[in-house]
Amino acid sequence: MRARALENPVELILKKRDGKQLSDAEIQGLIAGYLDGRVADYQMSAWLMAALLRGLDERETAALTRAMLRSGKVLGLKSVTAPKIDKHSTGGVGDKISLCLAPLVAACGVVAPMIAGRGLGHTGGTLDKLEAIPGYRVELDPRRFERVLREVGASIIGQSSDIAPADRRLYALRDVTGTVESVPLIVASILSKKLATGSDGLVLDVKVGRGAFMQDLASARELGRALVRTARRAGLATVALITDMNAPIGRSIGNALETREAIDVLHDQGPSDTRELTLVLGEEMLVLARRTSSRRAARALLERALADGSALERFARMVRAHGGDARVAEHPERLPRARVRVPLLAKHSGTLSHVDAWELGWVSVALGAGRTRAEQAVDPGAGIELCRSAGERVGRGEPLAFLCAAKRSLIDAQLGRAQAAFRVGGRLTPHELVLERLTH
């Protein structure tokens, strides 16, 4: 079966086009053939579209995940004896949680090995935020990654060419062929990287709402359940939380701005929603690692690590181990700042009823904090500083936010769109941080 699949990939395209299931061997052969050149880009693109339209069942999704995982190295992390729990977010606006979460759980005795990504569309990327720290290197070889985990307990790196190379190539195709929004393909992409870290468990933050890729609860639930089922089928203990992404997380959007906010949380401060989501995800990681028997006990450990400074100390050690300027932990003013900062003023008084994460995400990209092309550089100081959150009152002429960029012209071009993202008056949009918890 595998030989036929490699000799004639058209058979597999037709089979999936007609809604038929592929065997594990056929999927493995398809991925292997694509990597060694026997399956052309246009053939793989056709198969991806067929998979999006016809779907993959749970077994096929698991087989695709395994094939992508086996296309590269799997990190054993044998010298790291403490429990290893990874965390992944499906992406949101203002989502800087990994930056404070990884050192926080490390301070509580749980190792956090994370392979993160760059900004995608209107959502920011953890790697871009870390690179706002002068000198921070997101590319570590496997030996150094393991050493940092062993000595510090937390390390956040990018996907190297050795880890799930099939995912890198397939995602590049999906991005330009309209096949990103397929739950099975998303699941295989995420888990092929997460399984490669050699973790003992995984906590997933599945975002839903205006600022997320999954904009309705049913889609987010489908993705969350598929991720949990496929990960558990691969032997990885997994929990997923569905969290609200209609409004930005915290008070900052943009790389250095969000890094500064994560540092505020590690100083036992920061916006209440950023702090709370960090603690909720930390609880799940500690319980999954069996560091505590309950989320309540986990909360007490996490709050103690914030209060006594041990989480901040772990962050500084992680930054130093990655070659970065660890002084930012105590002096976040060392992070880059935008040359121009312009207030966005409220046109009338009232209660702020809605802040549109989708619109502000794209405004932030236009200011320079994100990319519209893969090769594009980001401006680490660009972004948006929010002055008000939904439910708070604002007076006429008071700032709703500050727009930050390298040039005034970039800001002037976005003032109208940014203004429209804030609704003053009218019905308050309900906001609940965690909507559901999925274990199967």
Supply angle C-alpha 139, 142, 144, rounded to 5. 75
Report the distance separating Cα 308 and Cα 351, nearest Å.
37
Contact 200, 408 (CB under 8 A): no
189 is an active site residue: yes
All domains in the chain, ordered by first residue? 2-55 (1.20.970.10), 85-332 (3.40.1030.10), 337-424 (3.90.1170.30)
What's CA 253's distance to the chain center, in Å? 14
Residue pointed to by tokens 């049913």: 218
Question: Would strands 383-386 and 422-424 be described as parallel, antiparallel, or unpaired?
Answer: unpaired
CA distance linking residue 285 with residue 265, whole number of Å: 18
* Helix (H), strand (E) at residue 114: strand 112-116
- What was the pLDDT predicted at 3? 40
Is 431 designated active site? no
Contact between 27 and 150 (Cβ < 8 Å): no
Q: Is 174 a catalytic residue?
A: yes
**Which residues in 138-221 belong to E strands, given as ranges?**
154-158, 201-208
Contact (Cβ atoms closer than 8 angstroms) between residue 152 and residue 113: no
Residue 90 near residue 212 (C-beta atoms within 8 A): yes
Tell me the C-alpha distance between 53 and 434, whole Å.
31
**Which 8-state DSSP code applies to residue 204?**
E
First to last CA, the chain: 32
Read off the pLDDT of residues 355-403 as tens digits, 9 standing for 90 and up.
Answer: 999 999 999 999 999 887 766 789 999 999 999 999 999 999 999 999 9
Q: Which residues contact 247 (CB under 8 A, 6 or more apart)?
A: 209, 210, 211, 354, 355, 356, 357, 389, 390, 429, 431
Read off the tokens for 298. 């986990």
Contacts of 178 (CB under 8 A, 6+ apart): 49, 52
Total residues found in the chain within this entry: 440
- 57 backbone dihedrals φ, ψ, rounded to 5°: -80, 180
Per annotation, catalytic residue among 15, 16, 87, 88:
88
Tokens, residue 165: 């190379």
Q: Whose CA is closest to 104, among 282, 259, 274?
A: 282
| Buried-exposed string 188-205: b where 16+ CB fall within 10 A, e elsewhere | bbbbbbbbbbbbbbbbbb
Q: What values do phi and psi take at 275, rounded to 5?
A: -60, -45
What order do you get walking across the sheet with 393-394 strand by strand? 393-394, 350-355, 422-424
The model scores a pTM over 0.85: yes
Strand 154-158 versus strand 434-438 pairing type: unpaired
Please name the amino acid found at residue 123.
Answer: T
Of 199, 209, 204, 284, the closest CA to residue 240 belongs to 204
Quick: pLDDT tens for 336-358. Answer: 999 999 999 999 999 999 999 99
Given 71, 189, 252, 364, the catalytic residue: 189
Q: Which residue among 193, 210, 260, 354 is the active-site one?
A: 193
Map tokens 């250095």 to a residue.
256
CA gyration radius, the chain: 22
pLDDT in tens, the chain (440 residues): 344 446 689 999 999 999 999 999 999 999 999 999 999 999 999 999 999 999 999 999 999 999 999 999 888 898 999 999 999 999 889 999 999 999 999 999 999 999 888 766 677 789 999 999 999 999 999 999 999 999 999 999 988 888 899 998 998 888 778 888 899 999 999 999 999 988 999 999 999 998 888 889 999 999 999 999 999 999 999 999 999 999 999 999 999 999 999 999 999 999 999 999 999 999 999 999 999 999 999 999 999 999 999 999 999 999 999 999 999 999 999 999 999 999 999 999 999 999 999 999 999 999 999 887 766 789 999 999 999 999 999 999 999 999 999 999 999 999 999 999 999 988 887 778 999 999 98
- Residue 2: its pLDDT value, please? 41
Six-digit token pair at 253? 């959007």
Per annotation, catalytic residue among 174, 207, 210, 291: 174
- pLDDT of 5 reads 44
